[in-house]
Amino acid sequence: MLEVLSKAAAFILVIVVGYACKKKGLFAPQDYQLVAKIILNITLPCAVISSFAHFKMDYSLIIAVFLGLIMNVAMMLTALLLTRRETPAAKIFYIFSLAGYNIGCFSMPFVQAFLSPFAVIAICMFDVGNSIMCTGLTYALTASCICYADGHKDSFSLRSIVDKLLHSAPFMIYNIMLALSLLGVHFPAPVYTFTQLVGAANPFLSMLMIGMMFEIKLDKKSLGYIKEIFGWRYGVSLAFAAACLYFAPFSAEVNYVLALAIMAPCTIIGPIFVEKLGGNVQLASLFNSLTIVISVALFTAFFIVIHA
């Protein structure tokens, strides 16, 4: 427990370091954009490749893939329902604050520390469906079907959505690796040595970027948004987590994994997509950081209860 808490505390500390460096002038206010490009195009794709080094598809858990997809879609629809009378910027903020789960950088260390290798496979299966959405499809649908922050949207067509997905490096890498895994194809060991080295930097850069984006400037309306999203994200998550614990057709351990996945914080790349759509990246980063703190508390309480 101490090891996992130390890692979670380290994540939060890196956010603080990023914020402090910006305030001290070491980073310019817009420097996070360069870090975001490095994450999206280099470290995150390498982390994805590394995660498939020993990945084996378990078809009995295919429902976990659909659960990852369904939870993202359900939260995206919830965001649209809550913001039906709000500004385009509010819609974007709600979508990327409610949909998406940070599995690789957050949930995975907890599962690896406290549960079996089979549980790691189960959470990877959930992340297949989750990643299809949060690494590109949610962004593509928002840009083409909903709007940018200034009110315009890309012309809707299957081609425009596919084009955005093809230009999302994490989305493409994730699906290529999944296809190769289904075919039983693996890269030579030196490839994984390289991707593990580069991918290991992803959690640090991701948290540093959140700190660089972080800005505490809350007006009354923004505070209202934060409170409402917290209630919906964790209210829905806890309800679905309880359903997984009591009704999911798997072993108790796999049910634990699915519940943990749904209680995970926001995906790290959410604020990047908010910025690409012209939304309030500072507010998105603030909420993203707060969900890390809340999920640390939830995960800790969860493992205390199940090991009591």
Which has the closest alpha carbon to 196: 54, 92, 5? 54
**pLDDT in the model for residue 2:** 67
Domain boundaries, the chain: 2-26+61-165+202-303
pTM, whole model, 2 decimals? 0.77
Tokens of 36: 């975001």
CA-CA distance, 131 to 99, in Å (whole number)? 11
- Name residue, tokens 């659909």: 66
List of E strands, the chain:
none
Please compute the mean of the pLDDT values over residues 142-168 and round it to a whole number.
73
Q: Could you read off the pLDDT of 178-193 as tens digits, one per residue?
A: 888 888 888 999 999 9
Q: Which residue has the higher pLDDT, 252 or 164?
A: 252
Please compute the mean of the pLDDT values over residues 107-123 and round it to a whole number.
76
Tokens of 162: 């596919």
CA-CA distance, 98 to 101, in Å (whole number)? 9
**pLDDT in the model for residue 157:** 67
Q: Could you read off the pLDDT of 28-84 as tens digits, one per residue?
A: 888 888 888 898 889 888 888 887 787 776 666 788 889 999 999 999 999 999 998
Please compute the mean of the pLDDT values over residues 128-145 and round it to a whole number.
83
Which has the closest alpha carbon to 155: 133, 138, 140, 135? 140
- Name residue, tokens 């991918």: 199
**pLDDT in the model for residue 149:** 76
Which class for 129: exposed (0-12), middle (13-18), buried (19 or more C-beta within 10 A)?
Answer: buried
Q: Find out whether 282 and 214 touch, Cβ atoms under 8 Å.
A: yes
Q: Could you read off the pLDDT of 8-33 as tens digits, one per residue?
A: 778 788 888 998 999 899 998 888 88
End-to-end CA distance of the chain: 13
Look at domain 2-26+61-165+202-303 and name its CATH class.
mainly alpha
Which class for 306: exposed (0-12), middle (13-18), buried (19 or more C-beta within 10 A)?
Answer: middle
CA-CA distance, 236 to 230, in Å (whole number)? 10
Q: Find out whether 173 and 202 touch, Cβ atoms under 8 Å.
A: no
**pLDDT in the model for residue 300:** 80
Helix (H, G, I), strand (E, B) or coil at 188: coil
**pLDDT in the model for residue 111:** 79
